[in-house]
Amino acid sequence: MSKQEIKSELDKVIGELETKGITQNTKEEEYTGLGDVIENTLTQFGITEDRFKEWFGLQECSCTKRKKYLNSLFKWKRDKN
């Protein structure tokens, strides 16, 4: 499966869930979520959005959209301390 096919498949999944009414949370500043955890973990290993695009030769990877979507599905209140 090519890189573009993989990206297309992931975008289809998000699109299908959105048609079923599963959408993103708009109060991101109060919550943290799975997308944030994944991004922070990958960044600690040097895997950034720019590096990902470079590795797979992509102009756009939709990483930010997927991060926001994962945050909306699996989120929890931030500890204010």
- Would you list the domain boundaries of the chain? 32-76
Residue 15 above 60 pLDDT? Answer: yes
Residue 56: left (phi > 0), alpha (psi -120 to 50), or beta? alpha
Residue 7 above 70 pLDDT? Answer: yes
Residue 28 above 60 pLDDT? Answer: no
Pairwise pLDDT comparison (18 vs 5), residue with the higher score: 5
DSSP E strands, 1-81: 31-33, 75-77
Whether the CB-CB separation of 71 and 27 falls below 8 Å is answered with no
Report the C-alpha gap between 54 and 3 in whole angstroms. 12
pLDDT tens for residues 60-72?
A: 888 888 888 888 8
| pTM, full prediction | 0.54
Whether the CB-CB separation of 31 and 25 falls below 8 Å is answered with yes
- Three-class SS state of 32: strand
